[in-house]
Amino acid sequence: MSFPNVDRKRRALITGGAGFLGSHLCDRFLAEGWEVVCMDNLITGDLRNIEHLTGRADFRFLHQDVTEFIHVSGPLDAVLHFASPASPIDYLELPIQTLKVGSLGTHKALGLARAKNARFLLASTSECYGDPLVHPQREDYWGNVNPVGPRGVYDEAKRFAEAMTMAYQRFHKLETRIVRIFNTYGPRMRLNDGRALPAFMSQALRGEPITVFGDGSQTRSFCYCDDLVEGIWRLLHSNEPLPTNIGNPHEMTILEFARKVRELTGSKSEIVHKPLPVDDPKVRQPDIGKARRVLGWEPKVPLEVGLSRTLEYFRTRIARGEEVR
């Protein structure tokens, strides 16, 4: 569903725009000829992700917390709510902020979209499925989430965010979209965010032991960021208000993934095992039948290609002596 014609450039607000995915979205919208307002409180975002955009007339950065009252002057055609801590280590360190940005932040972002008559897109997550009892996960599966475990702060905030988004759609007739994002990787992931890929790559590059949690038989399915951004772009332009999975269905065990990263880096790091975090999902794989059908979308970037591009980024960061855990 295309946007109504306007006699100016279209304008999007991207919350969390200085984060990993948010900054790739800023790039995409600018490349499509939109103006972008990027909002971030920089607790997990990083100005280096958007430094190449500063000074552009069509780009504006607002250092602001989306859980407070947010004001954006001028028109907005789309609001994309991507602000949130997004790694299991972040949830442990920032549990209240994680809950607040998913709940209060979503409410503020929805309120702003309504005031501006803008289309709203929520970054939701495969974590809505928790430790899934249905495999692969289809959008009509309601999930198996532990509300009071350490990951509950993220899972429940995002489930609330979905409910709030649907309420604005049904009650206020706001145009809304919900993307359920599965594991995604690529340049601009934080080196020290503790997720599998940044952990494995920086360990391999520094010749340190690669830490696989548990026996490594748990599975994930990794999607390259450019594929994800394409799916989000299509979803925003579609007519689909109900949650839509976007991710790569290519599933593998974490041990296989660790070996793949080690092989690609040419590292001699040994693989060591550490305790499995509480409530770590045993399996995860998106059913993307709906995205294929409704959006004509599927991932295109093979794992080896995506990993090589990511490796180049991590090599540069580590060579510059930038932060590693």
Nearer to ligand UDP, 119 or 306 (CB): 306
Q: How far is CA 286 from CA 42, 129, 137, 201, 204, in A?
A: 30, 10, 5, 24, 28
Contact 225, 219 (CB under 8 A): no
Catalytic: 224?
Answer: no
Bridge partners of 61?
A: 38
**97 scored as a contact of ligand UDP (CB under 6 A):** no
218 or 244: CB nearest ligand UDP: 218
CB of 197 to ligand UDP, least distance (A): 6
Residue 151 Cβ, how far from ligand UDP at the closest point, in Å? 8
Residue placing its CB nearer to ligand UDP in the complex, 237 or 309: 309
Does residue 6 sit in helix, strand or coil? coil
- Residues binding ligand UDP: number (CB under 6 A): 15
Q: Interacting stretch for ligand UDP, rule CB under 6 A, among 54-62, 233-241, 242-250, 272-280? A: 272-280
Tokens 């995860």, residue? 284
- Give me 231's structure tokens: 């799916």
Q: Which of 11, 107, 195, 290 binds ligand UDP (CB under 6 A)?
A: 195
Candidate residues 249, 280, 294, 298; the one interacting with ligand UDP per rule CB under 6 A: 280
CA distance 273 to 78: 44
Q: Is 213 in the site for ligand UDP (CB under 6 A)?
A: yes
- In the block, tokens 């430094």 appear at 51
Q: Binder to ligand UDP among 212, 225, 295, 311 (CB under 6 A)? A: 212
Q: Closer to ligand UDP at the Cβ: 118 or 299?
A: 299
In the set 91, 129, 141, 154, the catalytic residue is: 154
Q: Please choose, out of 97-105, 160-168, 192-200, 309-317, the segment that lies near ligand UDP by the rule CB under 6 A.
A: 192-200
Beta bridge partners of 177: 121
Q: Which long-range contacts (CB under 8 A, 24 or more apart) does 168-171 make?
A: 168/110, 168/113, 168/114, 168/120, 169/241
Among positive and negative, which fits the CA dihedral 113, 69, 42, 193? negative
Structure tokens at 151: 């990951």
Q: Which window, 32-40, 58-66, 162-170, 209-217, contacts ligand UDP (CB under 6 A)? A: 209-217
Question: Residues 214-233 vs ligand UDP: string with x where CB under 6 A?
Answer: ----x-x-------------
Min separation Cβ 281 and ligand UDP, Å: 6
Residue 158 within binding range of ligand UDP, rule CB under 6 A: no
Q: How far is the CB of 280 from ligand UDP (least distance, A)?
A: 5
Q: E-assigned strands of 82-191?
A: 119-125, 176-181, 184-185
How far, in Å, CA of 228 to CA of 82, rounded? 13
Among 178, 236, 254, 295, binds ligand UDP (CB under 6 A): 254
Q: What spatial distance separates the first Cα and last Cα of the chain, rounded to whole Å?
A: 44
Q: Virtual CA dihedral for 251, 252, 254, 255, nearest 10 degrees?
A: 180
Residues shown for the chain: 325
Please report whether residue 277 would count as binding ligand UDP according to CB under 6 A.
yes
Residue listed under structure tokens 């989430």: 145
Choose which of 64, 146, 211, 253 interacts with ligand UDP (CB under 6 A): 211
Binding site for ligand UDP (CB under 6 A): 87-88, 183, 195-196, 199, 211-213, 218, 220, 254, 276-277, 280
**Which residues are catalytically annotated?**
154
